Amino acid sequence: MAKQFFTKWRFFYNYEKETVWLNKMAQEGYLLVDYWWTRYTFEKGIPGSYVYALEFLEHMHTHPESQQYIAFLEEMGVEVVGRYMHWISVRKKTEDGPLELYTDTASQIEKLNRISKWWISFSILEFSIGLFELMLSIFTAISGETHSVFPFTTFVLLTFFGFVFLLQAIPLLYKKKQLQAKSNIYEK
Amino acid sequence: MSDYNERIALTEGVFYILISLKEPLHGYGIMQNVEKLSNGRVSLGPGTLYGALNSLLDKKWITAWGNTVNSRKKEYVITDTGIEVIKNELSRLEELIQNGRIFLGGII
């Protein structure tokens, strides 16, 4: 029987929402087999036969350490179906048991740190460039040179996105705090 | 010769990983063995296990075993230091059990 493939384009800020969506698709028989940024490729298959998760690596997926980790995951029966920058989409056959990459609190906290660190870095980058653009627009206004709205508009846009990215880090940091509280009593 | 702090407790996962490696074993085997030993109570996620194995390798409580270039699955085995660690851990656990029993003995 010929394999049927479907492509869907979606953009997610929140990887947990993305994971929920991938598993919902899997429940409906659409199994993710490839992934690139916002392009998701699904194969029609047995509904619920796979369960999906997303992992954020310390390095790019092409890095030797990432490659080692990916090889280990595959040894453990976890298949890597998509790779983009630091993200990998993984899946496991439902019949092989639950898919929990991390079963200890410390690692879960580390993962949240990895992701929130990136959001905060991007946020700082946006704010920094935005500030530069702001100063540029003030300078050109004061010096009386031909006034262009470009720097100021850029400043507004960058500052906006700076806050958007910062906002993405907040739920992650909140979750981290909850896990830290939990680890005060329990080992994991 | 051990260069670790004997007063710090091991996590359950690390304890069970170490005692799974009396003989060389690969990652999947370790996970299965730990589930068996703990009657399904302790499960090691692949990410957790990967991190733990790397830490244990760094501390030299385990070592990679065998031909890691050709063989698909890397295997690990406990070192003498690792065995010392388990001995000390057992003393610690016995202390806990003793004190716990005294506590309950006074209540029941």
Chain A, 55 to 94: residues with Cβ < 8 Å from chain B are: 55, 69, 72-73, 75-78
Q: Does residue B92 fall inside a structural domain?
A: yes
Judge residue B77's burial from the number of C-beta atoms within 10 Å of its C-beta, 0-12 exposed, 13-18 middle, 19 or more buried: middle
Report the mean per-residue pLDDT for chain A.
91
Q: Does residue B1 fall inside a structural domain?
A: no
Task: Enter the DSSP assignment of A37.
Answer: T
* Chain B contact probe: residue of A66, A75, A90 with most B CBs at under 10 A: A75
Q: Does residue B7 fall inside a structural domain?
A: no
What is the C-alpha radius of gyration for chain A, rounded to an integer number of angstroms?
Answer: 21
d(CA A44, CA A75): 25
What residue ranges of chain B have pLDDT lower than 70?
1-7, 67-72, 107-108
By three-state DSSP, how is residue A89 classified? strand
How does residue A1 score in pLDDT terms, banded at 50, 70 and 90?
low
Q: What percent of chain B shows pLDDT beyond 70? A: 86
In this complex, the residue of A73, A111, A188 whose CB is nearest that of residue B46 is A73
Question: Residue B64 in contact with residue B21, Cβ under 8 Å?
Answer: no
| Of the candidate ranges A99-108, A169-178, B40-49, B99-108, the one whose mean pLDDT is the lowest | B99-108
Residue A15 has pLDDT above 50, yes or no: yes
Task: Please state the φ and ψ torsions of residue A52, each to the nearest 5 degrees.
Answer: -115, 150
How does residue A9 score in pLDDT terms, banded at 50, 70 and 90?
very high
| Of the candidate ranges A2-6, A102-106, A127-131, the one whose mean pLDDT is the lowest | A2-6
**What is the residue-wise DSSP string for chain B?**
---S-TTSPPPHHHHHHHHHTSS-EEHHHHHHHHHHHTTTS----HHHHHHHHHHHHHHTSEEEES-TTT-SS-EEEE-HHHHHHHHHHHHHHHHHHHHHHHHHHHH-
Closest CA to A107 of A188, A15, A178: A188
How does residue A137 score in pLDDT terms, banded at 50, 70 and 90?
confident
A33-53 residue pLDDT tens: 999 889 999 999 999 999 999
Q: So what's the pLDDT on residue A184?
A: 82
- Upper half-sphere CA count for residue B69 (Cβ side, 13 Å): 0
Q: So what's the pLDDT on residue B107?
A: 67
A90 vs B5, residue with greater confidence: A90
**Mean pLDDT, range A82-92, rounded to an integer:** 95
Domains held by chain B: number: 1
**Mean pLDDT, range A127-149, rounded to an integer:** 83
d(CA A18, CA A24): 10
Q: Does residue B44 fall inside a structural domain?
A: yes
Note the ipTM here: 0.86
Contacts with A160 (C-beta within 8 Å, 6 or more apart), sequence order: none
Report the chain B residue with the minimal C-alpha distance to residue A78.
Answer: B46
Report the mean per-residue pLDDT for chain B.
89
Q: Does residue B4 fall inside a structural domain?
A: no
Structure tokens at A7: 């492509």
The answer to whether the CB atoms of A76 and B28 lie below 8 A apart is yes
Domain that holds residue B95: 12-104
Q: Which residue has the tokens 């065995």?
A: B83
CATH of the domain at B58: 1.10.10.10
Tell whether A100 is within 8 A of chain B (Cβ): yes
Q: So what's the pLDDT on residue A7?
A: 93
A148-167 residue pLDDT tens: 778 888 889 999 999 999 99
Task: Please state the φ and ψ torsions of residue A93, each to the nearest 5 degrees.
Answer: -65, 130
> In chain A, which residues have their Cβ closer than 8 Å to the Cβ of B13?
103-104, 188
Q: What percent of chain A shows pLDDT beyond 70? A: 97
Q: So what's the pLDDT on residue B34?
A: 97
Phi-psi region of A13 (alpha: psi -120 to 50; beta: other; left: phi over 0): alpha
Residue A179 has pLDDT above 80, yes or no: yes
